[in-house]
Amino acid sequence: MAGVAFELTPDYGVAAIHNGLDQEPSVPIARIQGSLSYQAFMRKRTTSNNRRESMLCRLLAPALERLPPEFGLDFCRSPDVVATKTMLANLKQLVESYLGTNICFAAISLDDPEGEKPSVVEEALEALGLRQVLPTLPRARTVVSSHTPQHSPDLEEEAWNILAIESSSRWSSIGLYSLNEGINDAIEGFVSGPIFGDQNQLTTLGDALRHLFENPPANITHPEKIHHLVLYGDNMTRDALSLLNTILGADLVANAVIAKSMFDGVGLIANTVHGQLSWVNARKPEPAFGCKWRSEFWQWRSNFWQGQLKLAPKTRDEL
């Protein structure tokens, strides 16, 4: 069964799938620019209530929850949910067009999975008839995980410090992570973003980095304590690298890993989703009512266990 993942940034959303072949990379599907209402929601510090608090909506809520997503009855949902649902619906449609069948499960990542936005995003996902395979994930951490060094510290070694920097033309993000035994953990209190600057975005990024090293964790008092640097974003230009050279030092920047694609993080999630759905003993969410009856992936699984098929479908031409 294909693993599907969506990633939401402040301006756009992306989708990737892993089609079930472990030796092949995940497949990037689409990048969709968000509407003005979507972008406004992603920049909010607080979100609107998930429901419109009218008497009619309170009375209709139980019935609306049972309706299939095809009805698209959103008049009781908040504007934030509707804007996010529109984005996810467009991504879902392109994924299903590529696969040639509908999907029932997905995972999602965004910048602030600990704030108020996840509840809005999760309601929008559920309104489309999709069930989450994994908890909502931090977008920056998925990028870091997709560029983790091949060799990580041994059990008796101290954890390595990883600095991740996103430079976009419209925002920036900074995060410190600790790598131990192949696992990346965010250093609490030192992951920030997206940062929206009123001035030049590189100036904002520079100010944020200087503030970080003026107020660092106890074990990272200067850039030389950084073991691994991950750089990503659509504005990782020569000017950005020059700024980083000045603040972090030329050696650290010269040895940095620069993400080649905006699909690196979401592709890793899609791979993980595929593994979760394929592992027999893994706990899986129940699909939305009627979803698996329409999906040819479920038909394939039924035929597989009956011994009628040997290989999983990979693309729409093979379904």
Cα distances from 138 to residues 46, 134, 144, 208, in angstroms, run 18, 12, 10, 19
Q: What are phi and psi of 162, to 5 degrees?
A: -115, 130
- 148-258, what's its fold? Nucleotidyltransferase; domain 5 (3.30.420)
> Tokens standing for 90?
């467009």
pLDDT (0 to 100) of residue 189: 85
Give SS3 for 80: helix
Tens digit of each residue's pLDDT, the chain (319 residues): 789 999 999 999 999 999 866 567 889 999 999 999 999 999 887 765 555 555 556 555 555 555 555 555 566 778 899 999 999 999 999 999 999 888 999 999 998 777 788 999 999 998 898 999 999 999 999 999 999 887 777 767 788 889 999 999 899 999 999 888 777 888 888 888 788 876 688 999 999 999 988 888 877 777 788 989 999 999 899 999 999 999 999 999 999 999 989 999 999 999 999 988 887 666 778 888 777 766 665 554 544 444 444 444 455 444 4
Cα angle value 69/139/44 (rounded, 5°): 70
Question: Which H or E element spans position 30?
Answer: strand 27-33
Measured CA to CA, the distance from residue 271 to residue 224 in angstroms comes to 34
Q: What are the boundaries of each domain within the chain?
A: 3-138+263-318, 148-258
pTM: predicted TM-score of the whole model, two decimal places: 0.84
Report pLDDT digits (tens) over 270-291: 999 998 888 766 677 888 877 7
pLDDT (0 to 100) of residue 306: 46
Architecture of domain 3-138+263-318: 2-Layer Sandwich (3.30)
Tell me if 3-138+263-318 shares its fold with 148-258.
yes
One-letter amino acid for residue 307 of the chain:
G
- The alpha carbon of 234 is separated from its chain's Cα centroid by a whole number of angstroms, namely 16
Beta carbons of 147 and 257 less than 8 angstroms apart: yes
Give SS3 for 257: strand
